[in-house]
Amino acid sequence: METIKITKMHGCGNDFVFLDYEEFQKSGKTLEELAKQLCDRHYGVGADGMIIPVPYEGEDADIAWHYYNSDGTTAQMCGNGMRCFAKYVFDRNLVSDKQFRVKTLAGIIQPKIMANGLVKVNMGNPILEKEKIPFSAPSTSWSGFCEVKNENYKITVKGKTFKITPVSMGNPHCVIFVKDNPHEYAKIYGSEIEKHRYFPEKTNVEFVKIISKNEVEMCVYERGCGITLACGTGACATVVACVLNNLTEGKVKVNLQGGSVNIDWKGSKEDPEKNISLTGPAQYVFYADFML
């Protein structure tokens, strides 16, 4: 029986299966088929996503990746996945420097492996324009922060109405602030909001509880995955929404179900087009030969 070499990694419990491009070619499967097989938690390795490094010949980046969700769909970006990717390709000598550029469907992303073993990722600017998120709700019926490129809106699912803040970090996010346990909201409402008609490409959904001006708790229902232990782009979108709603400062510790990450955004309502950085761990789980 044919086998391929794989590596399992996680960032705050957000877990991924890695394999080199040559191993993918050996499999004889499409990327979608292989992602579904490897990520299946009963018949495969079990993971939130599959990541494959890809050589890149352009001058604007040093390497590229294929990123697939567990359901076989592609995603533009993944912050936790990018931290693991940075460690994986550096340790395998696929890049020579600890800071480099990665070509993704969300553009060029720049990770940096820190001296303390953590990985910092320059995630670029948040996207707030409705058509670029994409987000297709009609004009808001209540005043949020309409003076900038974003607005607060309302969504009603299962008889409950939420005030939401749509943000893109290269992939769409719907941030909702709650006073109780975010995980309970994610379990009940996450699936319905993920596929709400306001989000034509579906959306990641973040339920957020404010702890202080510099700390929040968040649970995410990820597009194409369901509830996961962490989401890096979701943590970034959360802090952007917090700042735009005057709930926190720009440097925030985001407590996820699988651990914590630190987000730093120098943007504001008046000047939202500022880079946002994500810093957190990336850890190996195991290496294996997987039987196809």
Catalogue the active-site residues. 78, 231
Residue 132, helix vs strand vs coil: helix
Q: How far, in Å, CA of 45 to CA of 43, rounded?
A: 7
CB 173: neighbour CB atoms within 10 A? 32
Question: The tokens of 97 are what?
Answer: 């420097």
Q: How far, in Å, CA of 79 to CA of 9, rounded?
A: 13
Q: Where are the beta strands (DSSP E) in the chain?
A: 3-11, 14-18, 49-54, 63-69, 102-104, 107-113, 119-122, 153-157, 160-168, 172-177, 204-212, 215-222, 226-228, 251-256, 259-265, 276-280, 283-291
- Alpha-helical runs (H) found in 13-78: 21-27, 31-39
Which residues are registered as beta bridge partners of 16?
A: 9, 49
What's the N-to-C CA distance of the chain in angstroms?
Answer: 7
